[in-house]
Amino acid sequence: MEIPEKAKTHATSGLPVMNIHTEVTPTVQQTPSPPAAPKSRKRATRATRVLALATASAGMLLAACGSSSPTASTSTSTTTASGSDPYLAADLKAGAAQLTGAGSTFVQPVFTKAFYTYSSKNSGVTVNYQAVGSGAGITAFEGGTVNFGASDVPMAAADVAKAPAAYGGVLQVPDTLGGVTLSYNLPGVKTGLKLDAPTIAGIFAGTISKWNDPAITALNPGVSLPSQPITTVHRSDSSGTTYIFTDYLNTVSTTWAAGPGKGKSVTWPASSVGSAGNSGVAGSIKSTPYSIGYVELAYALQNSFTYAAVKNVAGSYVTPSLASVGADAAQKPNVSSTDFSIVNQAGSGSYPISGYSWALIAKKQSSAATGKSLVAVLDWLTHTGGGQDQSASLDYVPLPTNIQTLARQTLLMVTGPDGTTPLLTK
Amino acid sequence: MAGGIFAVLLIAFVVAMATQAVPAFSKLGVSFLWGSNWDPAHNHFGVLPFAVGTIETTVIAVALAVPIGLGTALALAYLAPRRLRAPLSTAVELLAAVPSVVYGLWGLVAVAPLFRTTVEPQLTSVLGWTGLLGGPNQGVGLLLAGVILFIMVLPTMVAISRDVLAAVPHDQVEGAMALGATRWQVLRKVIVPGARVGLLGAFTLATGRALGETVAVALVIGNSAHLAPSLKANAGTIPSLIVSSFGEASGTQLNVLFAAALVLLVVGIGVNALARVFVRSVKRSGAASVTVA
C-alpha cells in the first residue's frame, strides 16, 4: 500500500490529508463527510467515496512531491519528462487554463493524443483542438476566436500583415513532421516499384501515360510492367499533403514549376482523378487497378499500403519511413516561416518528400496567465520527453533536435500584454 | 407570418453570400464567372468548368428521372396490382429518406467498379460513334455522377408524382372511361394533364436537389477543374468545388467560393421561378385542355 504511506509522511507536515487510514476503515462512523451526503447512505458507499477522496488527495500530493524534489518521487509519478530539461518540468506546472486551437487536419491525431496526455499530467489545463483545415484555422486565429492556429504551410507575409495589431506580430512554431508516399495499385507488382524525380513529375503531369513507358522500365529492371494507362489520383480537397507533394515536384522539375506549380490545391491534368482526404485517395487507389497517387505517410503506414521507393539527391532509392523522413529534415537545420521547404535534401538516407506543420500564436498575449499556459503546452508539445514522444507511436516523425531548439527559441519570444516579459520560464 | 420569415431568410442568404463575394468581383471583375481556368496556385479562378459540370450532371439526372419517375409513379398509382402498391410506395418513400452521403459511398464502392468493368465498355461500343464517350473507362466521372444523382432524385420524383397523380378526381377518370376511352387514353388525356401542376412541382424539387447535391457528387465525379471532354471524364460541380476547397481556402479564393455559392443560389432561385411561371401559364391553358379531353 504505497499511497497511504506517502500520505502519512505528508500528514506530519501539516497538510490537510491526515487520518486517511482511519477514514478508509468503514468502522469509523463519525468522520466528516462531504456536505450533501445523506445520513441514510450505506456504509460501503461512504467508504468508497472516502477512499476516492483519499486517493485523489494522495495523488495530488504525489505530483506536488514529484515536482519539488524529483528524487523523492516514485516510478509511478509523472517526472519522466523533467530529466535534464528544466523547461519541460516547468511546462507541466502551467496554471489552469482552457485553451482552444483550430486548423490543420494533418496534425489532428498527434495533437489529440499529445493534449490528452498533457491533461492527464496537468489536469488544470485542457486543450480543445478543432481540425477544421489550415485555411479555416488561420481565419479563426486572425479573428481571435482561438488561442492558437495550426497550418501545414506557414502563413504568408500577406496573411501575417492582416493579423490584428494587438498580436504584436505572429510567431510560427514547427510542431510536427510528416512525409508523403507514392502509393500504387499495380497488379503483378506488389512491392518494390522504384521511381525518380523526373518520372514522378512526368506521371503526374500526364506526359508518362503508360506503365511500360521506357522512363519507368529503365528504373525497374527485371520487373514486368504492363502496357496499361496510368490513372493518377490527387487530393480534391486543398491540403498540406498536396502542398508538400507539389513543393517536391516544383523543386525537381522545371516543367512542373512552369506549369501547375505548388500549392495546397493546384491544377492537375484533366485525366487525374480527384478524391477527398487521404482516405479518399487511398480508396480510389485500392479500387482502381493501374493507379498511383500520393498519400500522407502516417496514413500509408497504418494501412500497410504499397508505396514506391524514391530516388533522392544522393542517388539512392529510399522508402518512406519515420527514419528516412527524419533524416531528410535533419539535413536542413535552419528552417523558418519564410524558408521552410525541406523537400529533396541531400544525404543518402533522406526520403525527399516531406514537410513540417506549424502552430501559430500571437507574439503578444492579451492575458499573461492564459499565455503562460499556452506557451507551456506548446513547448511541451514540441519536445522529446513531451508531446514528441507521442508522434512515433502514431507514425508521425518526431521533430529533429535542432528544430526542437528552434521551437523553444521562438516560444521564448512570446510576451505578456506588456510586450516585454517572456512567458516561457524554467 | 411564416412566409415573411422565409422571405427574410432568403434575403439573409443572398446578403451574406454577396458581402463575402464582393471582394472577388472588385478584384477580378465578373469575367471569372465564365473563365475556364481554375488554378488557385496562380490565382486564376474561372468557375465555368464547375458551372458547366453542375448543369451537365443535373441534366443527365433529370433527363433520366422524368420519364422513369413518371412511369413508376403512374404504375404505383394506377397500373400495379393493388396489393403491391402500398409496399412499393413505402419502399420508394424510404429510399427518399436515405442520406445523400450513403448514395455517394455506394456509388464509389459498388457502382464505380461496375461502371468501369461493364457499363462504360458496353455503352462505348454501342454509342461510341456519338463522340461523347472518349477516354479510358475509369468508373468515376461525369456519367456516374449524373446516374447517382438520378438514383437520388428518383424517389423524390416518384413519391410526389404518385401523390398528385392519385389526387386527380375520380369522377373525371370514370367519366372518361364511361365515354369509352381506353386505359392508355385515360392516362394520357385525363390523369397526366390533370396532375400537371403537381408534376412540375416534383420536377422542380428534383432539379433543385440535383443542382445542390454536394457530398455524393464530390465522391463520384472525379473532381477535375477542367471542362469534361467526354461523359466518362472527370468533372466538378459548384457544390463539390465548395465542399472540397472551403476548409483550406483563404484570401481571394475564399471570396470566389462565396461568389460561386451566390451563382448557385441565384440559379436555384431562377429554376424555381421559371417553374412557377411555367406552372402559372399551364394552369391557365391547362383548365381548357382538361375539358377538351
* A283: chain B residues, CB-CB within 8 Å: 108-109
pLDDT at A425 over 90: no
Task: Please answer yes or no on whether A274 and B222 come within 8 Å at the CB atom.
Answer: yes
Task: Please answer yes or no on whether B40 and A263 come within 8 Å at the CB atom.
Answer: yes
- CB contacts < 8 A (A, B): 108
Among chain A residues, the shortest Cα distance to B135 is held by A271
The predicted-structure confidence for A42-59, as pLDDT tens digits, reads as follows 444 444 444 444 444 444
From A133, A280, A287, residue closest to B112, measured CB to CB: A287
Among chain B residues, the shortest Cα distance to A134 is held by B248
Average pLDDT, chain A: 81
Q: Is B190 within 8 Å of chain A by CB?
A: no
The pLDDT confidence band at residue A26, using thresholds 50, 70 and 90, is very low
Task: Please answer yes or no on whether B251 and A239 come within 8 Å at the CB atom.
Answer: no
pLDDT at A78 over 60: no
Mean pLDDT score, A56-64: 41
CA distance A239 to chain B (A): 7
User: How many whole angstroms from its chain centre is CA A31?
Assistant: 48
From A105, A134, A273, residue closest to B138, measured CB to CB: A273
**Three-state DSSP class for residue B224:** coil
Q: Which of A4-8, A107-111, A245-249, B222-226 has the highest mean pLDDT?
A: A245-249
User: Of A347, A285, A356, A295, which is closest to residue A320 (Cα–Cα)?
Assistant: A295
Q: Is B38 within 8 Å of chain A by CB?
A: yes
pLDDT at A17 over 50: no
DSSP letter (8 states) at residue A94: P
Q: Is B232 within 8 Å of chain A by CB?
A: no
Amino acid at A334: N
Q: What is the ipTM of this complex?
A: 0.77
pLDDT value, residue B143: 94
pLDDT value, residue B41: 79
Which H or E run includes B50?
helix B48-74
pLDDT value, residue B283: 64
pLDDT at A10 over 60: no
User: Of A411, A288, A116, A260, which is closest to residue B116 (Cα–Cα)?
Assistant: A288
Q: How far apart are CA B205 and CA B210, in angstroms?
A: 9
Burial of A22 per CB tally in 10 Å (0-12, 13-18, 19+) = exposed
Q: Is B136 within 8 Å of chain A by CB?
A: yes
Among chain A residues, the shortest Cα distance to B223 is held by A274
Q: How far apart are CA B10 and CA A419, in angstroms?
A: 47
Mean pLDDT score, A375-388: 93
CA distance B111 to chain A (A): 11
* B248: chain A residues, CB-CB within 8 Å: 133-136, 237-240, 264-265
The pLDDT confidence band at residue A6, using thresholds 50, 70 and 90, is very low
pLDDT value, residue A40: 45
Distance, first Cα to last Cα, chain B? 40
User: Of B246, B247, B227, which is closest to residue B235 (Cα–Cα)?
Assistant: B227
Query: Is A203 or A46 the better-scoring residue by pLDDT?
Result: A203
From A139, A270, A287, residue closest to B109, measured CB to CB: A287
pLDDT value, residue B198: 87
* B38: chain A residues, CB-CB within 8 Å: 267
The pLDDT confidence band at residue A336, using thresholds 50, 70 and 90, is confident
pTM above 0.80, yes or no: no
Mean pLDDT score, A155-160: 85
- Which of A6-20, A296-310, B230-244 shows the lowest per-residue confidence on average (mean pLDDT)? A6-20
Among chain A residues, the shortest Cα distance to B243 is held by A237
Mean pLDDT score, A152-164: 87
From B40, B219, B222, residue closest to A265, measured CB to CB: B40
Q: Is B223 within 8 Å of chain A by CB?
A: yes
Which of A328-359 are b and which e, b meaning 16 or more Cβ less than 10 Å from the residue's Cβ? bbbbbeebebeebbbbbbebebbbbbbbbbbb
Q: Spell out the domains of chain B, with CATH numbers in brackets.
A: 49-285 (1.10.3720.10)
Mean pLDDT score, A76-82: 38
Q: Is B200 within 8 Å of chain A by CB?
A: no
Q: How far apart are CA B194 and CA B148, in angstroms?
A: 31
> Which of B219, B248, B258 to mutate to probe the A interface, most A CBs <10 Å?
B248
Q: Is B108 within 8 Å of chain A by CB?
A: yes
Q: Which residues of chain B carry a pLDDT beneath 70?
A: 1, 282-293
Query: Is A280 or A361 the better-scoring residue by pLDDT?
Result: A361
Task: Please answer yes or no on whether B136 and A231 come within 8 Å at the CB atom.
Answer: yes
pLDDT at A216 over 90: yes
